[in-house]
Amino acid sequence: MDLGEILLGNMVDVSPKSDKARLSSLFALLFGQKFKKGVIVLIIGLTKHLKDDFGIDFKNQNLLDEAFTHASYVNEHPKENLKFYERIEFLGDAVMQLCVSEYLFKRYDTMPEGKLSRLRAAMVCEDSFSKFAKECHFDEYIRLGKGEEKADARKRPSLLCDIFEAFIGALYLDQGKSVVVDFISQVVFPKLDMGWFDHFFDHKTELQEYLQKDGECSIEYKLVNQEGPDNERLYRMAVYANGEQLGEGTGYSKKAGEQAAAAQALKKFGKTATK
């Protein structure tokens, strides 16, 4: 039986009635250190979340534990000989820079270096990473000290950014670059087509210039549908030129959806927003 089966199967009962000593012994055997019952539940929950939602099954659980442990928790538990995420975050930052750079270089093969750098900066900044972490529910699995917990630190963008980078570093060490690319292909790269970085691109203006280069052209954007809760609502928009639909796109606002629709229309004409 492998580690995933031990953690996720029915062998481990984490209900209030489960035997605390038995759980601690099992985790000490698996990871070489003892954990409190609440932490065990947290680790099992994170492991299951990663496997169910992203198909990721960590081989070295200690790396994952380190990536989600804040210095305040380590300081409050000096006898547990724990590590916190700072060093592994340093590595994750570099890995994200490389993976995003490589993706942009291949996707926008005629974009000048200056524009590539600015787009990468928008994708790997604190604001973006903190949103990615929140979307992945990483905030729910951070180990914090009592003081930081009371201060609502797990909602702090800078901390969420650090945790996202630390997770990337842990994943890289555990399974290599290809698995990291698979993960960010699910979480990060699709945002380019969903309007997250529209402050960098202006697909609508480029489409208008292209369509009207030989004369007047009536361009119209229409809402196709919307779905999801109010705080995460997705809008699907369609763009029409002289009544003919040219493309559809989705975003977290109507404007973002319009930009995504314009981007799809540009692709239809073999164009990209690279000017």
Binding residue positions for Mg(2+): 89, 162, 165
93 given a catalytic annotation: yes
Element (H, E) at 256: helix 254-268
| Separation CA 117–CA 104 (nearest Å) | 9
3-state class (DSSP) for residue 236: strand
Contact indicator for 138, 167 with CB cutoff of 8 Å: yes
| Separation CA 211–CA 217 (nearest Å) | 6
Contact indicator for 138, 168 with CB cutoff of 8 Å: no
Catalytic residue (one of 165, 174, 206, 258): 165
Closest CA to 208 of 177, 175, 241, 230: 241
Catalytic residue (one of 65, 66, 93, 174): 93
CB-count burial class (<10 Å; 0-12, 13-18, 19+) for 162: buried
165 given a catalytic annotation: yes
Binding residue positions: 89, 162, 165
DSSP-assigned letters across all residues of 151-209: TTGGG-HHHHHHHHHHHHHHHHHHH-HHHHHHHHHHHTGGGGGTTTTTTT--HHHHHHH
| Separation CA 189–CA 183 (nearest Å) | 10
- The catalytic residue positions are 93, 165
